[in-house]
Amino acid sequence: MHDNRDHLGITGVTRRRILTGAVVLGGAALLPRPLGAYAADGAPFDTAPAAAALKRLLPDHYQQVTLRAVDADSDRFRVTGRAGRITVEGTSPAVLLTGLHTYLRRTAHASVSWTGDQLNLPRALPAPAGEIKGTADVPHRFAFNDTNEGYTGPYRDWDAWQYELDVLALHGVNRVLVYIGGDAVYYDTFRQFGYTDAEMRAWIPAPAHQPWWLLQNMSGFGGPVSRQLLERRAALAEKIVDRIRDLGMTPVLPGYYGSVPDDFPAKHGGDAAVVAQGDWGAFKRPDWLDPRTTAFDDVAAAFYRVQKERFGASTMYKMDLLHEGGNPGDVPVGEAAAAVEGALQKAHPGAIWAILGWQSNPSKALLDGVDKARMLIVDGLSDRYTTVTDRESDWGGTPYAFGSIWNFGGHTPIGANAPDWVEQYPKWRDKKDSSLAGIAAMPEAADNNAPALALLTDLAWTPGTVDLDDWFAAYALSRYGGPDRHAAAAWQTIRDTAYNMSRADGWSEAPDGLFGARPSLNANKAAAWGPEQDRYDTTAFDAALTELLAVRAELRDSSAYRYDVVDVARQVLSNRSRVLLPQIKAAHEAGDKALFGKLTKTWLEWMDLLEDLLATSGPHLLGRWLADARSWGADRAEKDRLEYDVRSLITTWGGRASSEEGLHDYANREWSGLVGGLYRTRWTMYFDALTKGKDPSAIDWFALEDRWAHAHETHPTEPNGSPYALARRVRDLLAATPYQAVLTAGTDRGAVAEGTPATVTVTFTNRNGFATARDVALSVTAPEGMAVKPLDPVRKGSVASGEKFAARFEVSLAGEPTELVGRVVATAAYAGGGKAVAPVRLMAAAGVGDPYRTVSFNDAVFGQAGDEIAIEGAGADLWGATNEFGAVYRAGAYGDKTVAEVTITSQDMTGGWARAGLVVRNNLGTQGSAGYVNLAVTPSNGCVLSWDADGDGRFDSIAQSGSFTAPVRLRLTRSGASYTGEASRDGVTWTTVGTATPGGAAAAQDVGVFMTAANGWNGTRGIATFDGFTVA
Task: Give the residue from 974, 973, 980, 977 showing the smallest Cα distance to 999.
Answer: 977
1017, with CB counted inside 10 A (0-12, 13-18, 19+), is exposed
Average confidence (pLDDT) over 729-733 = 98
**Local structure of 445: helix, strand or coil:** coil
Closest by Cα among 118, 222, 147, 68 to 475: 118
Q: At 356, which amino acid appears?
A: L
Is there a cis peptide before residue 531, judged by omega within 30 degrees of 0?
no
What is the rounded CA–CA span in Å between residue 806 and residue 804? 7
The pLDDT-based confidence of 533 (bands split at 50, 70, 90) is very high
Q: Residue 738: pLDDT above 80?
A: yes
Composition of the chain by helix, strand, coil, percent to 5: 35, 25, 40
* Nearest C-alpha neighbor of 970 from the set 938, 996, 933, 943: 943
Position 754 scores a pLDDT of: 87
| pLDDT, tens digit, 9 for 90 and up, residues 290-318 | 999 999 999 999 999 999 999 999 999 99
Which residues have a Cβ under 8 Å from the Cβ of 141 and sit 6 or more positions away?
Answer: 172, 173, 174, 175, 438, 439, 457, 460
Note whether 134 and 171 are within 8 A (CB): no
CB 70 within 8 A of CB 21: no
C-alpha closest to that of 1014 among 877, 906, 885, 883: 877
**3-state secondary structure (DSSP) of residue 320:** coil
Give the model's pLDDT for residue 963. Answer: 82
pLDDT band at 133 (very low <50, low <70, confident <90, very high): very high
Residue 26 scores a pLDDT above 80 = no
In this prediction, residue 41 carries a pLDDT of 65
Cα 872 to Cα 870: distance, rounded to the nearest angstrom: 7
User: If residue 709 lies in a helix (H) or strand (E), which one and from where to where?
Assistant: helix 701-709
End-to-end CA distance of the chain: 81
The residues pairing with 691 across neighbouring beta strands, listed in sequence order, are: none
> Quick check: 320 pLDDT over 80?
yes
By CB atoms closer than 10 A (0-12, 13-18, 19+), residue 849 is exposed
Contact assessment for residue 23 and residue 29, using Cβ atoms and an 8 Å cutoff: yes
Round to whole Å and give the CA distance between 816 and 546. Answer: 54
The verdict on pTM exceeding 0.85 is yes
For every residue of 855-883, DSSP letters joined together read EESS--EEEEETTEEEEEE--S-EEBTEE
Q: What's the average model confidence in pLDDT over 1000-1008?
A: 98
Burial of 277 (0-12, 13-18, 19+ CB in 10 A): buried
Cα–Cα dist 835/485, whole Å: 36
Please tell me the distance from the alpha carbon of residue 801 to that of residue 152, in angstroms, as a whole number: 37
Task: Judge whether residue 6 has pLDDT over 60.
Answer: no
Burial of 131 (0-12, 13-18, 19+ CB in 10 A): exposed
pLDDT for 777-792, tens place per residue?
999 999 999 999 999 9
The residues with which 888 forms a beta bridge, in sequence order, are: 854, 1009
Q: pLDDT tens digits, residue range 406-456?
A: 999 999 999 999 999 999 999 999 999 999 999 999 999 999 999 999 999
Residues 327-357 pLDDT 10s: 999 999 999 999 999 999 999 999 999 999 9
DSSP H helices in 321-396: 333-347, 364-368, 391-394
156-211 tens-digit pLDDT = 999 999 999 999 999 999 999 999 999 999 999 999 999 999 999 999 999 999 99
pLDDT at residue number 12: 30
The phi and psi torsions of 916 (rounded to 5 degrees) equal: -145, 135
Asked if omega into 224 is within 30° of 0 (cis), the reply is yes
Report in angstroms the alpha-carbon separations of 1032 from 890, 986, 1002.
12, 20, 17
User: Domains, the chain, ranges and CATH?
Assistant: 31-135 (3.30.379.10), 140-466 (3.20.20.80), 558-735 (1.20.120.670), 739-843 (2.60.40.10), 853-1031 (2.60.120.200)
Say yes or no to pLDDT of 11 above 80.
no
- Alpha-carbon distance of 407 to 317, in angstroms, equals 24
How many Å is the maximal CA-CA distance in the chain? 102
Q: What pLDDT, in 10s, does the model give residues 930-947? A: 999 999 999 999 999 999
Distance between CA atoms of residues 250 and 242, nearest Å: 10
What pLDDT is recorded for position 31? 45
> What b-and-e string marks burial along 86-113, b requiring 16 or more CB atoms within 10 Å of the CB?
bbbbbbbbbbbbbbbbbbbbbbbbbbbb
**Which of 644, 639, 809, 780 is closest to 711 using CA atoms?**
644
Give the C-alpha separation, 347 to 936, whole Å: 58
Task: Give the other-Cβ count within 10 Å of 883's Cβ.
Answer: 21
Q: What is the average pLDDT across 124-141?
A: 98
**Does residue 885 contact residue 878 with C-beta atoms inside 8 Å?**
yes
Whether the pLDDT of residue 710 is over 60: the answer is yes
> In what helix (H) or strand (E) does residue 82 lie, and over which residues does it extend?
strand 76-82
- pLDDT on residue 962: 78
479 touches 182 (CB < 8 A): no
Q: CA–CA separation, 655 vs 805, rounded Å?
A: 48
DSSP run (H or E) holding 266 = helix 264-268
- Tens digit of each residue's pLDDT (9 = 90 or more) over 955-985: 999 999 978 999 999 999 999 999 999 999 9
Contacts (Cβ under 8 Å, ≥6 apart) of 358: 320, 323, 324, 380, 381
Spatial distance between the Cα atoms of 372 and 895, rounded to a whole number of angstroms: 63
* Separation CA 370–CA 377 (nearest Å): 13
pLDDT (0 to 100) of residue 22 = 35
Q: Strand 758-766 to strand 436-441: parallel, antiparallel, or no bridges (unpaired)?
A: unpaired
- pLDDT band, residue 33 (cuts 50/70/90): very low
- Number of Cβ within 10 Å of residue 412's Cβ equals 25
Q: Under 8 Å CB-to-CB from 282, ≥6 apart: which residues?
A: 654, 655, 657, 658, 660, 661, 663
